Structure formats: structure tokens, C-alpha cells
Chain A
């Protein structure tokens, strides 16, 4: 097996700039780093860029092209790329200009003592509205996760293999990769880099995008805060709702008893019972969540061991047991069922 220092994965999805000039730009940046690397383009479905990339390959560019059977989304494309990468470190690059490729060495240097490095384009061009939208998203994220990021939309990241192995993302979740990695206890760093002069994203956001970003936040909220304690979450909301309903009912009954207000034609009674019912339902969902956690605790192990330090003589005995890299072979470099074209 080839052992390269860096595997570069480029997911090619809906948004693509001219792939040829992009490729040569990336090559220039990577050559500056003075390391061995491989480049893997993952086509998210049947895309025209496939032909141009194949052409590049026949011209001798050392790239690998993987085509997914249909469009799965950028995150899945990344995962497939990672599964086929051989490098000690993994780098993701977008299929469009974002970061000035002259900054790659700086990113790589920062990745030396971090598990994941994500680029932060700064200073950043863009309208005031875009800036506001961005800071609103990251502000909400900070409030939820207590993690501070500034540019999760940036597709330039460098990480250790271990990170990609432990974190499963799919669909649209590639933006959350740094958040989830930090959640798993990896050291995540944000590095300020210059924006590419060709980065010309001009607010093509539609309503759908906003909904998706909100759903992202929702996902993060649950993954980071409550997956292990469903009853604490549902139980708290449920008991509050139930208490409100019970209080309401009590007031109505007091009014009936002391002031003779008839109950039968009061919609308020129905409303308060609705609150009671909702409270019980939330509680029941929390209990169901606890059952799921209990019966699947093995698959949902919450802690990660960074290292086991022991006397030198004992090192070998626990090979694989302490586990950060156990099962490297299990995932293997090859994915069945993927159309794959490898250069020379």
C-alpha cells in the first residue's frame, strides 16, 4: 500500500467552479507544502466534471476519481473519499474557490498539534447581510454547544485519520464535522487564512437553505446535549407541562367549588387537560429514550480513551485493546460497489 502523508478529498457536488483551474490552483498550493500527497475527487452522482477530471488524469495529473451511484450529498461524498484515502492525514477541499491556496502550508503547520484544523476565511468579503447571517448562525451554535466557530461553511479542513474514522456524517452534515469532532473530545482549531480572490459566492441562499441550517442546529443540539440523558430533557419539559396543566385544573375546580362556575361548558378545562396529556406523552418519550440508551449502551459508548500509559514492558500486551486505532483494517481502503478509476 502506498503511504502518503496527506490525502486530499474533493467532493464535487452541485456547486462547482471551473474544475481545471481549481485543480491547478490546489496543486500549486499543495506543492508548496513539501509533502507527499494524493488527490481524490468524489463525484456526487453523474456529473460533467467527471469528463474533465478524466482528461486531467490522462494528461498525467496524479488524481483518483470516484463516482457515487447517485447524489448522496457532500458529507457522504467526503466519507467515501476518506474510506479510500491512504494518507496519514486527510484534507478536505471544496470544489470551488474558498481559500487562497498559498495558505495551505500554514494550515498544515497548524494541523501538527491538533486533531482537526478548519480554515476561517479572514478578512472576508461579502455584503453586510451575509455577514449578519453568518454571525447569527455561529452565535446560535455557540449558545447551544458552547463551542466557538466563525466559518463552518468553509470546506477546507485537515484532520487525523482517527477523526474521520470515529465520526459519521451524512447528507448535509459536513459543516458540522468540526463541531462533532470537538464533541468527541478531539482538539479542534480554527485558523485564519486569506480568502481566495476567486471566491465569489454571492448570497445564493434560498429559504430551503435557511431551513436546513436550522435543522443542522437542531441536530447538534440533540447530539451534543441530550443523547445520553433523554429522561432529563423530556422529563423536565414534560413535568413542567404537566404541572401547568394540573395547576390549571386545580384553579378551575376551586372556581367550581367556591364560586359555582359550571365546568361543563368551559373550554379552559379541555385546554388544561390537553396540557396534562402532553406532559405525560413527553415523559413517556423520555422513558422510551432511556430504554433505547440502556439496551444499546454498547453502541453508544460515551467516553473516548486518548491513551493508556503503562510500564514499557506491558505495552505490547494491550495492543488493540485501548483502541483508538483498533479496526483500521475493518473499514479497509476499498468500498465495494463504487465506480472507481485510479491513475497509474
Chain B
């Protein structure tokens, strides 16, 4: 592990230096690429023909996620000819979430749009995302209402997963798997993204309380290359979901969360102890080590969980993703001008 990275100051000064430039880039389109050599050029052409007519100052960040084919070469040839393109090369393959996080970190636009590198999303939808953003939304997610995938292996599992994610996280989105999403840069840059969280970005972002919109998008069948998804990851998604639930539901009060888990153990403990006492006194049977032992065992578990909760409080207090900071991202001055977001004051 690299641990703490030195040079925090260097980076923040770089941000102010780039500040002048940031103003003229309105839109950053972030595309993670992993072994998509055949798709790079068509993708860029599609994006250009979709965005250029709108006259928006934009940039395209192609993030090469350690591809083993010629993806990097194909992408690296673009910036010299088309200055709108920037290529972020990762040191090795880290996965889609990390690639998106890297793109988000290096993006300069005020609105960030993420999309897949396999041409299944249509860049022609992007202007509609921008229009929706202008209505005051912080996050706009796409919904592939007419999906061009196989039903049993792709569409059905995804429908079930979306229902479940919506129920558990309380952010009911019809299509979490659609990569085409737009974010206000200030918000998404502060949301921690790691592991395989890209599926849960809206849920994670809900920590900051953004206004969220969902719009229908087109969806094409894959033209080149092969799909990198499969059915095999169900249990991992379930565990991730539980992790996200823990984070968005209880990150700010871990003691409460663990106390909640401790409650059934406490009940089991009390019941066992009472039962062993009852047998001894009322039924006049010999003392049962087993039943009393179970009571003590569950009591110890409850105690353990409560202690873990206290450690959790400690962790939360020393971390930087705290809610008091996240709330600043979307707080609005309601009485004054409706669209003035507090955090934007720095920039004017």
C-alpha cells in the first residue's frame, strides 16, 4: 500500500492553476476502456458528431484500464489531432469503478458524463442529459428502457438486482447498470468510489442529498469486441449491497447500527438465561450448563457488537467522508436565488 500520499498541497495549487481553464470546459465525457481497440475510434467519432453541433466546450477523457490489446495506442493517437481528447492511462487493470474514479479525478468540466466504451450507449443522448441538468438536477441517470441484451442472462437478473438495490438503498432507480449518467462535478468528485461501486454510484451519491432525475436512453447491441459481464457475480453484488447499506444508512452512527445487530443477540441471551433459571427453580430439574452457556455466549456476542460499534464511531470521527462535509455539496440558499448552490460561491 502506498499509504498516505505526499503532495496534497501540490495538487490543490494545480487545481487553482487549472481553474482558468476549467471555466471554459463545460462538459467532460468519461469513458473507461478495457480491451476495446476496435471501438475507440468509432466511439470518438460518435461523441464528436453528437456534441460538436451543440457548441458546448467539452473534453473527452478516455481512461485506459490497463488494456492488453491496442486500445491505448488507438486512444493515444487522438489527442494530437483532436485536442478535446485526453487519455488517462492507468498503471494496470483496476476495474471499471477505479477507471471511472480516475476519469472523474482528472476531469475539468462542470458537468461530468460517464458512459461505456462498447458503443452500447448512444452519445446522441448526452445533450438531453445536459438539458435535464440545467433544470437544477445534480445527477441524471440513464434508463435503457429498450435493452438489446439477452433476456435470461442479462435483462432478468438486472431487473431483479435493480429492484433489490432500490429497496435496500432507498434510491429507486430502474437501471443502475446503465453507465450513461451525468453528474455535477462538485458533487461526484467528493463521493468516495472504490471496489466495484460503480453500480451503486447514485446510492452512494445519495449521501450528499442530490436532486436526481432519470431519463430514457437508447441502447444498441454490441458491435465489436466481447462483453465483460456475466452472471457469476451475484453473491459479490449482494455483499457489496450490504456494504453500501451499512455506509449510507449508518456511516454516521455506527454505534446505533451495531447496537441494532446486538439486539437479537441480547434477546437470545436473556431468553436462554431465563430458561435455565426457570428449569432450575420451577421445574426442579438439574442445572443445564448447555442452556446457561448459550445465554452467556449470546450475551458476549451482544457485548462484542456494541464494542465494535464504538470502534466504528472512532473510525467515523477520524475519517474525511463525513456527512457534515457531504451536506455542503448540495445545500441551497432557498430564500435567495433558487439555483445558487452554496459551494459555488468560491468559484465566482
Binding site for B on A (CB under 8 A): 165-168, 180, 184-186, 223, 227-229, 231-232, 235-236, 263-267, 269-270, 273-274, 277, 280-281, 284-285, 287-288, 290-314, 317-323, 326-331
| B158 shortest CB reach to chain A, Å | 21
- CB closest residue in chain B, given A294: B247
Complex Cα distance A168/B5, Å? 10
Assess the A300–B288 pair: CB atoms within 8 A. Answer: no
Complex Cα distance A290/B251, Å? 10
8 Å CB contact of A303 from B5, B101, B239: B101
Complex Cα distance A147/B300, Å? 42
Other than the given A165-B6, A281-B304, A295-B318, 8 more pairs (CB < 8 A) read: A185-B91, A232-B236, A295-B320, A296-B320, A305-B91, A305-B102, A311-B79, A318-B14
Assess the A326–B11 pair: CB atoms within 8 A. Answer: yes
Assess the B9–A296 pair: CB atoms within 8 A. Answer: no
Complex Cα distance A166/B91, Å? 13
Instruction: Report chain B residues within 8 Å CB of A284.
Output: 258, 261, 304-305, 308
8 Å CB contact of A280 from B101, B243, B261, B320: B261
Assess the B83–A327 pair: CB atoms within 8 A. Answer: no
Assess the B18–A317 pair: CB atoms within 8 A. Answer: yes
User: DSSP majority for the B interface?
Assistant: helix
- CB closest residue in chain A, given B92: A185
Instruction: Report chain B residues within 8 Å CB of A329.
Output: 10
Given contacts A264-B288, A302-B98, A318-B14, contact A308 B88 (CB under 8 A): yes
| B300 shortest CB reach to chain A, Å | 7
Instruction: Report chain B residues within 8 Å CB of A186.
Output: 91
- CB closest residue in chain B, given A230: B243
Instruction: Report chain B residues within 8 Å CB of A235.
Output: 239, 242
Instruction: Report chain A residues within 8 Å CB of B301.
Output: 277, 280-281
Complex Cα distance A266/B320, Å? 50
Instruction: Report chain A residues within 8 Å CB of B247.
Output: 290-291, 294
- CB closest residue in chain A, given B86: A310
Q: Could you show 16 A-B contacts with beta carbons less than 8 Å apart?
A: A166-B5, A168-B3, A185-B66, A231-B239, A235-B242, A277-B297, A277-B298, A284-B304, A290-B247, A291-B246, A300-B1, A303-B90, A320-B7, A327-B9, A330-B6, A330-B9
Assess the B290–A168 pair: CB atoms within 8 A. Answer: no
| A167 shortest CB reach to chain B, Å | 6
Instruction: Report chain A residues within 8 Å CB of B308.
Output: 284-285, 288
CB of B277 closer than 8 Å to a CB of A: no
CB of B139 closer than 8 Å to a CB of A: no
8 Å CB contacts to A: which residues of B4-58? Answer: 4-11, 13-15, 17-18, 21
Instruction: Report chain A residues within 8 Å CB of B321.
Output: 294-298
Instruction: Report chain B residues within 8 Å CB of A285.
Output: 308
Assess the B294–A273 pair: CB atoms within 8 A. Answer: yes
CB of B311 closer than 8 Å to a CB of A: yes
Assess the A317–B192 pair: CB atoms within 8 A. Answer: no
Complex Cα distance A322/B88, Å? 9
- CB closest residue in chain A, given B287: A264
Assess the B86–A308 pair: CB atoms within 8 A. Answer: yes
8 Å CB contacts to A: which residues of B55-72? Answer: 66
| A124 shortest CB reach to chain B, Å | 30
Instruction: Report chain A residues within 8 Å CB of B258.
Output: 284, 287
8 Å CB contact of A291 from B91, B251, B288: B251
Given contacts A291-B251, A330-B10, contact A317 B17 (CB under 8 A): yes
Instruction: Report chain A residues within 8 Å CB of B4.
Output: 299
- CB closest residue in chain B, given A266: B290
